[in-house]
Amino acid sequence: ALLAHERITVRAQRVAALRRQSGRWQGFTQDGEPCAEAPRVVLAAAGDTPALLAAALPDAHFDKLASVQRMAGQIGFFRAAVAPDTKAIVAGAGYWLPQNDAVHVGGSTYEFDVAVSEPTPERFKEVAEKVAALLETEAEHLIAARAQPDGWAGWRAAVSDHLPVIGPADAEESVWLACAYGSRGLSWMTLAGEIMAARLNGEPQVVERELLKSLRPR
């Protein structure tokens, strides 16, 4: 839905490297073929951002990004006909979303130092137990409401101060970073877009100067 705009064109390519030529950035595939070109580029690749940035700006060093931590996590899907119905988001040590297409979403797990993030019955049970405490119900009741598959699993990326990294990485402001959202991606991605749009279009910023400084890559 966010991409459904007449001025947005989606080109689904896996960019393996970035190089600047004649004042423009080029993206290259794993096979070395060019796949995109623009005067500015935004790196919003979560835990893979540091590697792309190092390839684009090999002489620059970013201490904050050197400590990016990848965290695996799983959410669970629950059948609305069986699970407790709520009309609002319930959040605390976990969260529970109102039903959509007869399915509730509950979350989530946190796993550090793992190589693979994938949904499993064990992690689904952990989600159910966490959400049960929020809803004041029995975990077994939620487990019985499981919708197939067990859920969805993915990755989070965060830095030590738990703030996002949003800002230009070079003096010319041709490379921007928008990453390290942790568990707040849907909120902070919107903030990142507003910050970048304001800067690039010479508009008043949406947050104060000191807060902007704390979000810088360095």
Instruction: Note the pLDDT tens digit of each residue in 173-195.
Output: 999 999 999 988 888 999 999 99
CA distances for 101 relative to 119, 128, 151, 152, angstroms:
21, 20, 15, 16
pLDDT at 11: 85
Question: Is residue 188 helix, strand or coil?
Answer: helix
**Region 124-131: what's the mean pLDDT?**
96
Helix residue ranges, H only, 8-93 = 49-56, 63-66
pLDDT at 200: 92
* Residue 161 clears pLDDT 90, i.e. is over it: no
* Residue 182 · residue 46 · CB < 8 Å: no
Task: Calculate what percentage of the chain has a pLDDT beyond 90.
Answer: 67
- Residue burial 71-88, b: 16+ Cβ < 10 Å; e: rest: bbbbbbbbbbeebbeeee
Can you name the residues that pair with 190 across neighbouring β-strands? none
Per residue in 39-83, pLDDT tens?
999 999 998 899 889 989 998 888 888 888 899 999 999 999 888
pLDDT at 25: 95
CB-based contacts of 40, cutoff 8 Å, min separation 6 = 25, 173, 174, 175, 176, 200
pLDDT classification of 150: cutoffs 50, 70, 90: confident
* Residue 35 · residue 12 · CB < 8 Å: no
Mean pLDDT score of the chain, rounded to an integer? 92
More confident site: 65 or 25: 25
Quote the DSSP letter at residue 204: P
Is the bond preceding residue 108 a cis peptide, omega within 30 degrees? yes
pLDDT classification of 89: cutoffs 50, 70, 90: very high
* Residue 137 clears pLDDT 90, i.e. is over it: yes
pLDDT at 136: 92
pLDDT at 181: 94
* Residue 38 clears pLDDT 90, i.e. is over it: yes
* Residue 22 · residue 53 · CB < 8 Å: no
* Residue 125 · residue 140 · CB < 8 Å: no
Please give the model's pTM, rounded to 2 decimal places. 0.84
- Whether the CA torsion 37, 43, 48, 50 is positive or negative: it is positive
Can you name the residues that pair with 28 across neighbouring β-strands? 17, 34
Q: With residue 182 as reference, give the H or E element that holds it.
A: none
